[in-house]
Amino acid sequence: MPDPVLDIVDVAYRWPGRAGFSLTVPQLSIAPGEAVLLLGESGSGKSTLLSLICGTILPDEGRVRIAGTDTTTLSGGARDRFRAEQIGVIFQQFNLLPFGSVLDNILLPLRFAPLRRNRVGSAVGEATALCAALGLPPDAVSAKATALSVGQQQRVAVARALIGKPPLIIADEPTSALDANSQAAFLDVMFAQIETHNTALLMVSHDPRLGARFDRVISMYDIAQVERAVA
């Protein structure tokens, strides 16, 4: 059985201050090629967990291992470089560069990740192929990101996360603003690309109706304990 792409063991983190809270995650692992849906209401600790996985914050205790590397042992700069190399992120609001072209946006992660850049032969060729696979029109590559429809912008965000074949994709509620038909179309194209590249996916949502599309559905209440500070 292959080693997990993501392996969290006995992680604990406490936000400082009176309004802070603590999050404890005893164990969470995701295998290569596995698509996992993480459900949780607002305030359940989902954003904190994603920050711990991405290394933007460090746990007070425990281990976060991604693609065989314990990120808690890395310096701040090394974690930033590791995140760029090993994790593709699909943000809820897409976070596209408004004045950049579609190609500029898709290639952006490779500017900060030379190892990820080396996984592809032609970066422009892979970006163009991803656009085609995701159903974007041929002339979209040179278009401004802001000239695209919301659905097209979302596909650009997926292509940017997938470029360079990172082993782990984090998707932070990317379907929350879509209707049911658009949600289904988005998941179709995302799963097709993840299967092609054997990429692990952790997608966060508050909508349990999406669960049938995933290999596994987990709840924040099943994997984590949250304690809020008393004012």
* Mean pLDDT (whole number) for 4-23: 87
Least-confidence region, from 31-40, 42-51, 210-219: 42-51
Residue 188 lies in a domain: yes
Residue 1 lies in a domain: no
Residue 167 lies in a domain: yes
What pLDDT score was predicted for residue 53?
96
- Domain range holding 53? 6-228
* Cβ neighbours for 104, distance < 8 A, ≥ 6 positions apart: 97, 145
CATH code (residue 82): 3.40.50.300
User: Which pair of tokens denotes residue 50?
Assistant: 């994603």
The DSSP bridge pattern shows strands 61-66 and 69-70 to be: antiparallel
* Mean pLDDT (whole number) for 159-171: 93
Residue 31 lies in a domain: yes
* Mean pLDDT (whole number) for 95-99: 88
Residue 197 lies in a domain: yes
Number of domains in the chain: 1
pTM: 0.89
Residue 92 lies in a domain: yes
Residue 129 lies in a domain: yes
Cα 211 to Cα 218: distance, rounded to the nearest angstrom: 9
Residue 141 lies in a domain: yes
Read off the pLDDT band of 127 (50, 70, 90).
very high
User: Which pair of tokens denotes residue 164?
Assistant: 């360079």
